[in-house]
Amino acid sequence: MNKHFDDSRYYLSRAGEHAKLGLSEAVEPYAVRLRELVGRESEPEPEPTRLEAVRDGVVNLERNAAGQAREVVGSARATLSRTGADEPAGDR
């Protein structure tokens, strides 16, 4: 008998989920129109998940590291080219 109640509860919850989806789909055009009239945005942007935030942080770190590496290499080349130009031709 308990199995029948479990099955009934399962199918009742599924029916509720489908009713909710159907109702939200049917009301959506009216909700969009109402939001436009009131001047509110449809829905706020969802906040990034923790994984997305970490991924963005890693990408930013990579960009910063690449930029710093370019600066160091550029300054090293400039220093080497200055010291090479200061030396007499016979010392090279």
pTM score:
0.39
User: Is residue 44 in some structural domain?
Assistant: no
The identity of residue 65, as a single letter, is A
**Residue 66 and residue 74 in contact, taking contact as beta carbons nearer than 8 Å:** no
Q: With respect to residue 51, please indicate whether it lies within any of the assigned structural domains.
A: no
pLDDT in tens, 35-44: 888 887 766 7
Whether 64 maps to a domain, the answer reads: yes
Closest CA to 66 of 54, 56, 58: 58
- Which residue reads 């199995």 in tokens? 3
Interatomic CA distance for residues 63 and 9, integer angstroms: 53
Write down the pLDDT at residue 45.
75
Domain count, the chain: 2
Q: Are residues 2 and 34 in the same domain?
A: yes
Q: Where are the alpha helices (DSSP H) in the chain?
A: 2-38, 50-86
Task: Identify whether 78 is part of a domain.
Answer: yes
List, for residues 11-63, the tens digit of each pLDDT value: 999 999 999 999 999 999 998 888 888 887 766 778 889 999 999 999 999 99
